[in-house]
């Protein structure tokens, strides 16, 4: 009948299960086309973080900076302004929002029947997850870079006293943290999207989730004033670890802000990274499981 | 050379308690055009979704292109193409990108992809629209693009779920020509439709499906012959007595009451039998108001096997219109 069915079964299996399968790039390519072509989405996703920085940053830093002079600075430790402190938080939050909503496109694809083509094709389903995650990660990278540049224009003191080489390494470090964090939430988002029917429902779940993640973290204020329970939550919160990583690379391993001393040791940094990696792996597992069960007609 | 390329036996599919497909079995030969003809809700799309592995098979067995849909879905997916009932084109991609994306999904090498895209855009006459976003295409163009997409990978079996729905008569005919041409190149076609003329013109064999069950299968003429050689429609001043008279005549297989008249199915040449029937009726002093003789159409076949008209058939041919008028 055909060459293919004449092949021994094992050989056929090899051809399809091929590890060097870049099918996810196809999904990535398509999602990026849409991102670029859908002007409002593109512009809003680029302008929104900048607006956050501009309004929130300037307003908040004015009031925080008015409070902090009362606290005596610790000698020998560099003091940073609130704008610098929160700029790292804004990168983290923007990554969180973008990633959590990154899977939404799957829900629309599913509802409009576009996902059928993909599900009926030989493309392994984990490639759909990877493709969407990769494009979400790309968007997060772009946003993170915009905030860094825009924040520094506004007066955030990132990379103070760094050499060009150190800046390059630090930016890569930040992108590493942002990347792994965004993968985790994109996997989660994809898992939710493939399991739900309505965008409104997904919107609701996202809002419910962002609240605690956002508030029980060190993104915009120090956590040492939290009650112990919240502090514990904050330690398990991926957002806290992302913020740790960004601040380590952008500001340094020892600084004070809002009258609080921050130190991050290399092992602390590694711990934060590990938490993010574990989170991403767990979320991938969740997404994989949901996708194996997904029925799209 | 030809073998069974689709083999389904005892297929059942339920949505909750509702049995949408109720134990169907059939085979499709390699190289043929096979149709499911049935009304809305008959279970056609459900069956296609199971055969194309979009729905997991629940009961029964199905093999497509030599692979079991339950245990080798990936193999099945590699061997088939699908054109879905609803439009499934990304509105923000161009025609070329739609085909490119599809080719990539199936891992076609770059050069082959490019070549195929050019070929297919020409075949479906969308050359001029290659860089147009699909949201700016007309309904018929979208359908053509989807058919082109289904053909990108030169599948062994192409599933077409109501391929010409919503197309104007002229475009429909062109579509049929494409489908026939594709079939002649060796692709087996499985199509569903609720247009009798489509099933009749396009397919080698037809299965009539209703309420999740296959009611009859065969070649178009075979199904028609099974029904009758000719169909005669009569209206008289006394239909009741006329039916009795005609029913007793030789060569008449069945007489069916209609609103204003009755239909006579005959198993011999109607052109000779009709004058005799008319003489018999007139001989009893009954006046004949209307008479019509025709070969059975798929409509008649469908009405015969299902006991009713297709729920939403549109009139395309005069004979079909007459049959419907007669059966109202
Ligand atoms: N996802 C679903 N959940 C519940 N019932 C369904 C679902 N999909 C289809 N059905 C039911 O199954 C039956 C068969 O539907 P199907 O779509 O297979 O019909 P069809 O023959 O393709 O009809 P049409 O010509 O209108 O496309 C219908 O009664 C329909 O209501
Ligand atoms: Mg259907």
Q: How do residues A189-212 score in pLDDT, each as one tens digit?
A: 999 999 998 889 999 999 898 888
In-domain check, residue A3: no
Structure tokens at B247: 């029913």
Integer Cα distance of B241 and A270 in angstroms:
98
- pLDDT at site A70: 63
- A120 and B101: CB-CB below 8 Å? no
B233 with B243: CB under 8 angstroms? Answer: no
In DSSP terms, which residues pair with B13 in a beta bridge?
B21
Cβ-nearest to B92 among A37, A113, A123: A37
SS3 sequence, chain B? CCCEEEEEEEEEEEECCEEEEEEEEEEEECCCEEEEECCCCCCHHHHHHHHCCCCCCCEEEEEECCEECCCCHHHHHHHEEEECCCCCCCCCCEHHHHHHHHHHHCCCCHHHHHHHHHHHHHHCCCHHHCCCEHHHCCHHHHHHHHHHHHHCCCCCEEEEECCCCCCCHHHHHHHHHHHHHHHHCCCEEEEEECCHHHHHHHCCEEEEEECCEEEEEECHHHHHHHHCCEEEEEEECCHHHHHHHHHCCCCEEEEEECCCCEEEEECCCHHHHHHHHHHHHHHCCCCEEEEEEECCCHHHHHHHHHCCCCCCCCCCCHHHHHHHHHHC
Atom of ligand 1 nearest to the CA of B194: 25
Query: Has residue B310 got a pLDDT over 60?
Result: no
In DSSP terms, which residues pair with B80 in a beta bridge?
B157
Query: Has residue B265 got a pLDDT over 80?
Result: yes
Full domain range(s) for residue A207: 22-66+75-293
B153 with B102: CB under 8 angstroms? Answer: yes
Q: What is the residue with the minimal CA distance to atom 31 of ligand 1? A: B41
Integer Cα distance of B149 and B103 in angstroms:
8
In-domain check, residue A109: yes
- pLDDT at site B308: 64
pLDDT band at B313 (very low <50, low <70, confident <90, very high): very low
Specify the range with the lowest mean pLDDT, choosing from A85-89, A256-260, B43-47: A256-260
Integer Cα distance of A56 and B218 in angstroms:
73
In-domain check, residue A2: no
Give per-residue pLDDT as tens, B50-99: 999 999 999 999 999 999 999 999 899 999 999 998 889 998 899 999 99
In-domain check, residue A12: no
Cβ neighbors of B188 (< 8 A, separation 6 or more) are: B5, B6, B28, B29, B30, B31, B32, B33, B34, B156, B157, B158
CA triple A132-A130-A170, angle to 5 deg? 90
Specify the range with the lowest mean pLDDT, choosing from A92-101, A137-146, A222-231: A222-231
The whole-number average pLDDT for the span B117-122 is 92
Which residue of A lies nearest to B50 if distances are taken between CA atoms?
A: A297
Q: State chain B's mean pLDDT as an integer.
A: 87
Which residue of B lies nearest to A114 if distances are taken between CA atoms?
A: B88
- For the CA of B194, the nearest ligand: 1
Atom of ligand 1 nearest to the CA of B43: 18
Q: What is the pTM for the complete model shown? A: 0.82
- pLDDT at site A285: 96
- pLDDT at site B17: 92
Cβ neighbors of B30 (< 8 A, separation 6 or more) are: A1, B1, B2, B3, B4, B5, B156, B188
Q: Where are the domains of chain B?
A: 4-223, 228-320
- Report the sign of the C-alpha dihedral through residues A111, A115, A116, A119, in that order: negative
Report the phi/psi class of residue B102: left, alpha or beta, with left for phi > 0 and alpha for psi in -120 to 50.
alpha
Structure tokens at A201: 């429902």
Integer Cα distance of A283 and A100 in angstroms:
12
Containing A152, the helix (H) or strand (E) segment is helix A125-154
State the number of CA atoms in the 13 A half-sphere of B318 facing the CB: 3
A292 with A125: CB under 8 angstroms? Answer: yes
Specify the range with the lowest mean pLDDT, choosing from A4-8, A94-98, B65-69, B177-181: A4-8
- Report chain A's C-alpha Rg in angstroms: 22
Long-range contacts for A279-286 (Cβ within 8 Å, ≥24 apart)?
A: A279/A181, A279/A184, A279/A238, A280/A180, A280/A181, A280/A183, A280/A184, A280/A187, A282/A184, A283/A183, A283/A184, A283/A185, A283/A187, A283/A188, A283/A191, A284/A129, A284/A183, A284/A187, A286/A187, A286/A188, A286/A191
- pLDDT at site A56: 74
Q: What is the ipTM of this complex?
A: 0.82
Cβ-nearest to B49 among A5, A29, A297: A297
The whole-number average pLDDT for the span A262-289 is 94
B4-223: which CATH number, 3.40.50.720, 3.30.450.20, 3.40.50.300, 3.30.1360.180? 3.40.50.300
Which residue of A lies nearest to B64 if distances are taken between CA atoms?
A: A5
Cα(B296) to centroid(ligand 2), Å: 26
pLDDT band at A20 (very low <50, low <70, confident <90, very high): low
Specify the range with the lowest mean pLDDT, choosing from B114-128, B231-245, B259-273, B308-322: B308-322
B228-320: which CATH number, 2.60.120.10, 1.10.600.10, 3.30.70.100, 3.40.50.720? 3.30.70.100
- CA torsion, points A214, A216, A221, A224, in degrees to nearest 10? -170
Measured CB to CB, residues of chain B less than 8 Å from chain A are: 3, 5, 30, 49, 52-56, 65-67, 74-75, 77-80, 82, 84, 86-90, 92-93, 97, 101-102, 104-107, 149, 156
DSSP 3-state assignment of A112? coil
- pLDDT at site B325: 45
Integer Cα distance of A254 and A247 in angstroms:
10
Give per-residue pLDDT as tens, B152-196: 888 999 999 998 887 788 888 888 888 898 899 889 999 999 888
Structure tokens at A281: 């792996």
The alpha carbon of B259 is separated from its chain's Cα centroid by a whole number of angstroms, namely 28
Q: State chain A's mean pLDDT as an integer.
A: 84
Q: How far is CA A240 from CA A154, A183, A223, in A?
A: 24, 16, 9
The alpha carbon of B169 is separated from its chain's Cα centroid by a whole number of angstroms, namely 16
DSSP 3-state assignment of A38? coil
The whole-number average pLDDT for the span B204-232 is 87
Indicate the number of domains in chain A: 1
Better-predicted residue by pLDDT, B278 or B325:
B278
Structure tokens at A14: 């090899």
Cα(B154) to centroid(ligand 2), Å: 24
Integer Cα distance of B152 and B144 in angstroms:
12
- pLDDT at site B161: 93
Specify the range with the lowest mean pLDDT, choosing from A2-6, B73-77, B123-127, B130-134: A2-6
CB atoms within 10 A of CB A57: 26
In-domain check, residue A5: no
pLDDT band at A181 (very low <50, low <70, confident <90, very high): very high
- pLDDT at site B70: 94
- pLDDT at site A50: 81
Q: What is the residue with the minimal CA distance to atom 12 of ligand 1? A: B20
pLDDT band at A51 (very low <50, low <70, confident <90, very high): confident
Better-predicted residue by pLDDT, A218 or A132:
A132
Cα(B20) to centroid(ligand 1), Å: 7
- Mean pLDDT comparison of A12-21, A107-116, B226-235, highest-scoring range: A107-116
- φ, ψ for residue B207, nearest 5 deg: -110, 125
Query: Has residue A9 got a pLDDT over 50?
Result: no
Query: Has residue B118 got a pLDDT over 90?
Result: yes
- pLDDT at site A65: 67
In-domain check, residue A61: yes
The whole-number average pLDDT for the span A62-66 is 70
- pLDDT at site B113: 93
Specify the range with the lowest mean pLDDT, choosing from A213-222, B86-95, B134-143: A213-222
Contacts of A30 in chain B (CB under 8 A): 90, 93, 97, 101
* Mutate which: B104, B150, B162, vs A, most A CBs within 10 A: B104
């Amino acid at each position: 009948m055909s060459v293919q069915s004449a092949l021994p079964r094992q050989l056929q299996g090899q051809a399809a299960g091929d590890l060097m399968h870049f099918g996810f790039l196809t999904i990535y390519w398509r999602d990026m086309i849409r991102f670029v072509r859908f002007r409002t989405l593109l512009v809003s996703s680029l302008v929104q973080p900048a607006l956050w920085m501009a309004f929130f940053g300037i307003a908040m830093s004015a009031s925080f900076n008015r409070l902090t002079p009362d606290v005596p600075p610790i000698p020998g430790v560099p003091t940073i302004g609130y704008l610098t402190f929160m700029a790292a938080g804004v990168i983290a939050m923007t990554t969180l929002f973008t990633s959590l909503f990154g899977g939404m496109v799957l829900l629309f694809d599913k509802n409009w029947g576009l996902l059928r083509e993909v599900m009926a094709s030989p493309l392994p389903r984990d490639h759909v997850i990877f493709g969407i995650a990769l494009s979400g990660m790309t968007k997060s990278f772009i946003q993170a870079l915009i905030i860094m540049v825009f924040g520094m224009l506004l007066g955030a003191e990132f990379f103070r006293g760094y050499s060009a080489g150190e800046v390059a390494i630090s930016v890569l470090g930040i992108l590493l943290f942002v990347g792994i964090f965004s993968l985790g939430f994109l996997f989660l988002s994809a898992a939710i999207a493939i399991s739900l029917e309505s965008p409104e429902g997904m919107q609701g779940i996202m809002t419910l989730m962002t609240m605690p993640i956002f508030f029980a973290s060190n993104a915009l204020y120090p956590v040492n004033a939290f009650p112990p329970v919240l502090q514990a939550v904050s330690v398990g919160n991926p957002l806290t670890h992302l913020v740790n990583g960004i601040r380590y690379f952008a500001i340094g391993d020892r600084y004070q802000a809002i009258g609080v001393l921050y130190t991050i040791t290399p092992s602390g940094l590694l711990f934060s990274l590990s938490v993010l990696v574990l989170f991403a792996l767990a979320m991938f597992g969740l997404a994989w499981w949901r996708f194996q069960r997904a029925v799209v007609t | 050379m030809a073998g069974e390329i689709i083999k389904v036996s005892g297929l059942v599919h339920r949505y909750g308690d509702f049995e949408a497909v109720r134990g169907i079995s059939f085979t499709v030969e390699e190289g043929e055009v096979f149709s499911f003809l049935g009304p809305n809700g008959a279970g056609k799309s459900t069956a296609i979704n199971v055969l194309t592995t979009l729905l997991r098979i629940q009961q029964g067995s199905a093999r497509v292109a030599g692979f079991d849909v339950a245990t080798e879905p990936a193999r099945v997916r590699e061997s088939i193409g699908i054109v879905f009932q609803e439009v499934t084109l990304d509105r923000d991609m161009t025609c070329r990108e739609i085909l490119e994306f599809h080719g990539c999904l199936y891992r076609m090498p770059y050069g082959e992809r490019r070549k195929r895209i050019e070929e297919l855009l020409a075949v479906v006459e969308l050359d001029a629209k290659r860089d147009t976003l699909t949201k700016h295409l007309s309904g018929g163009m979208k359908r053509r693009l989807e058919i082109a997409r289904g053909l990108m990978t030169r599948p062994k079996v192409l599933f077409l779920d109501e391929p010409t729905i919503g197309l104007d008569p002229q475009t429909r005919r062109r579509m049929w020509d494409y489908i026939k041409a594709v079939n002649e190149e060796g692709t087996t076609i499985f199509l569903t439709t609720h247009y009798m003329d489509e099933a009749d013109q396009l397919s080698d064999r037809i299965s009539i499906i209703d309420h999740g069950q296959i009611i009859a299968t065969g070649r178009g003429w075979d199904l028609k012959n099974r029904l009758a050689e000719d169909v005669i429609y009569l209206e008289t001043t006394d239909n009741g007595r006329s039916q009795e008279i005609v029913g007793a005549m030789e060569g008449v297989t069945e007489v069916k009451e209609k609103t204003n008249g009755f239909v006579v199915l005959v198993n011999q040449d109607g052109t000779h039998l009709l004058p005799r029937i008319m003489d018999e009726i007139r001989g009893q002093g009954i006046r004949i108001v209307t008479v019509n003789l025709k070969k059975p159409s798929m409509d008649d076949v469908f009405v015969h096997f299902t006991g009713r008209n297709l729920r939403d058939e549109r009139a395309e041919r005069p004979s079909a219109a007459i049959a419907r008028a007669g059966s109202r």
